[in-house]
Amino acid sequence: MSETILSVGIDIGTSTTCVIFSDLTIENVASSMKMPKAKIVEKNIRYRSPIYFTPLRSNTELDTVKIASIIEAEYRAAGIRPADVKTGAVIITGDTARKENAQGVLHDISEYAGDFVVAVAGPALESILAGKGSGAEQYSTEHLDNVCNMDIGGGTTNTATFCRGTLIDTDCLDVGGRLIRFRDGTLEIAYIFPKIQQLAKEQGVIASIGTTLTERQISAITDCMAEAVLEKLKPAPEKPAYFFLKTEKKEKRANPPIHAVSFSGGVGRLLYEPEPVNPLEYGDIGVYLAQSIKKNLMTRGIQVIQPLETIGATVIGAGNHSVNVSGATITITDYGVLPIQNIPILRMNDVLNMTDETYASEFRQKAAWIQGQEKEQNIALNVEAGRKLNFRSINDLADKVVAGAQELLARQDILVVITREDCAKVLGQCLQIRLPEGKKVVCIDSIDVGNGDYIDIGTPVGIGDAVPVVIKTLAFSY
C-alpha cells in the first residue's frame, strides 16, 4: 500500500527565488508479518519554476508584492491550488533573511503555502537542505567518503559535510556574490555588506557605496573571501578571515576530514561552467568570487565533484528533503487537533536515570527558557529514556513525563511527546490513562529532534497512523 502526497519548496534567497512541486510516495516497507512502517520511497519533481532574481524594494527591504506575484503565477503555471499541497517548506535564506521585512513576506505569501507548509530559515537547516538537494548526501553514501557541499549563493556560503550518508557537520559564512553590487555596467559600488567592507579595508582597499573599484581590487577582496571559505576544508582552520566571516560565532573546533568537495548555489554553479565573457554580467562580484575559488582550489589537491543539482539545490532540498514520516504505530487521541504547527521542542535526555526531583526541576527550567513571558505557548516534549525499554520502563517513563508536565498541562489541552524509540503506541496509551479528563495526547516516534528545534505534524498519510513531520530550526536565527 502506498500514498503519494504533493510537496512544495519555495526558496527566497539573496540572489534568486524559485518554486518546485514534488510528488512524495510513501509506502509501507515492513513485511506482511510485521507492524506497518511508513517511509518515503520515491521523490519526483512535478514542476520547477524558472529562476527569478529576488525582487528588492531597497538594500534593506524585500519587495513583498512582487515576490507574492511570482509565487502566485507559478502556482497557476503548475496547475496547482494551495489546497492541493500537503507538506513542504517556504524558506527565506542567506542575506535575505536579514532584511527588515522578511517575516512580513512570509505572512504575505502564506495563502499560497497550504495548510501544512512551514516557513523556516537558519544557517544550519539551509546547509542541510542544500547538501541533500545537491546530491552530496547521496554521493557520500555511494562512495563511502566524507563529502562537503558548499552552497555559495548571493549572501552566504552554507556547508554541509556527510559521512556515508550521515550529516556530521554544518557551517555558514558571510560569503556570497551579491555582498558587493555595482551600478549598471560600472564598477561603482551600489551596495556593500558591512563585513565585506571591513575585510576590504584589511586588504588595503577602501570600499563604500559610491566608490569605484578596479578589477585588481575586486580580486583582492574575493581572493580573501575564497581563502576563508576553503579554510573549511582544513582539519584545523587558522585564517582570521574564516572566523571573522562565520555567520554564527561558535567556539573554535576541528573540522572533520574531507575527501571531496562539491559546490552548489548561484556562485557555486559558475565553478563548473565556462566563465561569462562579461564578469559584470550579474552586476555583482559573483563571477570574480568564482574565479578566486577556482584559483585557490588548484593549490589544495582535493577532489572536486560536480553535484546533481547546483543553482536549485536549496529549493529541491526544501521540497523533497524537509519532510519526514513518523512511525506507523503511534498514539493520537483526537485527529481533529491536526495539523499542528510551530511547536517548540523541549528535549529531556536520560530520563529514566534521573530522580523525580531532578527531572521536574530540569523540565521547569527548560520550559521557562522556551516560553519566556508567553506561558500559554504549547511545548512538544522529546524524551530519550537512556536505556532499553520494556513495558515496565515505559510505564515508569509515562509517570515521569506526566509528573513533570503538571504546570504545562494546567495551561494546555494537548500533550505532544516525541521519541526516537519505536514505542509511541504503548507510551501514548500509558500517558492517556494518567492524564486528567479532556486532555489529548499526540505521541509519535521514529523522529530525531533536539532542543531549539520546532515541529509541525500533519494529518495521517494512510499507512497505519503515520503522519508527515517537518523538523525545523528557529526561523530568523541570524
Residue range 327-356, pLDDT digits in tens = 777 889 998 888 887 788 888 888 888 888
Average pLDDT on 272-299 reads: 93
pLDDT given for residue 477 in this prediction = 36
Confidence of residue 476 (pLDDT cuts 50, 70, 90): very low
Average pLDDT on 67-76 reads: 94
pLDDT given for residue 104 in this prediction = 77
Q: Percent of the chain scored above 70 by pLDDT?
A: 89
pLDDT given for residue 429 in this prediction = 93
pLDDT given for residue 270 in this prediction = 95
pLDDT at 305 over 90: yes
Residues with Cβ within 8 Å of 120's Cβ and at least 6 positions away in sequence, in order, are 89, 90, 91, 318, 322, 470, 472, 473, 475
Average pLDDT on 131-145 reads: 90
Place of cell 506526566: 402
pLDDT given for residue 437 in this prediction = 87
- Report for 7-16, 69-78, 354-363, 469-478: range of highest mean pLDDT: 69-78
Q: Higher model confidence: residue 459 or residue 261?
A: 261
- Among the residue ranges 37-51, 176-190, 428-442, the one predicted with the least confidence is 37-51
Cα(161)–Cα(146) distance, rounded to whole angstroms? 7
Diameter over CA atoms, the chain? 73
User: How much is the mean pLDDT over the chain?
Assistant: 85
Average pLDDT on 205-225 reads: 96
For the stretch 365-395, pLDDT in tens is 888 777 665 566 788 888 888 777 888 999 9
pTM for the complete prediction? 0.77
Confidence of residue 88 (pLDDT cuts 50, 70, 90): confident
Q: Give whole-number Cα distances, 443 to 214, 407, 457, in Å.
A: 61, 19, 11
pLDDT at 69 over 50: yes
Average pLDDT on 291-316 reads: 89
Confidence of residue 478 (pLDDT cuts 50, 70, 90): very low
CB 318 within 8 A of CB 309: no
Confidence of residue 36 (pLDDT cuts 50, 70, 90): low
pLDDT given for residue 306 in this prediction = 94
For the stretch 157-184, pLDDT in tens is 999 999 988 888 889 999 999 999 999 9
The Cβ-side half-sphere exposure at 237, using a 13 Å CA radius, reads: 23
What's the 3-state SS for the chain?
A: CEEEEEEEEEEECCCEEEEEEEEEEEEECCCCCCCCCEEEEEEEEEEECCCEECCEEECCEECHHHHHHHHHHHHHHHCCCHHHCCEEEEEECHHHHHCCCHHHHHHHCHHHCCCCCEEECCHHHHHHHHHHHHCHHHHHHHHCCEEEEEEECCCCEEEEEEECCEEEEEEEECCCCCCEEECCCCCEEEEECHHHHHHHHHCCCCCCCCCECCHHHHHHHHHHHHHHHHHHHCCCCCCHHHHHHECCCCCCCCCCCCCEEEEEHHHHHHHCCCCCCCCCCCCECHHHHHHHHHHHHCCCCCEEECCCCCCCHHHHHHHHCCEEECCCCCEECCHHHCCEEEEEEEEECCHHHCCHHHHHHHHHHHHHHHHCCCCCCCCEEEECCCCCCCHHHHHHHHHHHHHHCHHHHCCCCEEEEEECCCCHHHHHHHHHHHCCCCCEEEEEECCCCCCCEEEEECCCCCCCCCCEEEEEECCCCC
Cα(454)–Cα(474) distance, rounded to whole angstroms? 7
Confidence of residue 475 (pLDDT cuts 50, 70, 90): very low
pLDDT at 463 over 80: no
pLDDT at 237 over 90: no
pLDDT at 31 over 60: no
pLDDT given for residue 162 in this prediction = 92
Q: For 267, phi and psi rounded to 5 degrees? A: -80, -40
Confidence of residue 37 (pLDDT cuts 50, 70, 90): low
Q: Percent of the chain scored above 90 by pLDDT?
A: 39
Please name each of the domains of the chain with its CATH number.
Answer: 2-120 (3.30.420.40), 136-307 (3.30.420), 329-462 (no CATH)
Residue 202 in grid coordinates = 584589511
pLDDT given for residue 177 in this prediction = 95
For the stretch 89-123, pLDDT in tens is 888 876 776 777 777 787 778 777 666 676 665 67
pLDDT at 83 over 80: yes
pLDDT given for residue 261 in this prediction = 96
Confidence of residue 474 (pLDDT cuts 50, 70, 90): very low
pLDDT at 28 over 80: no
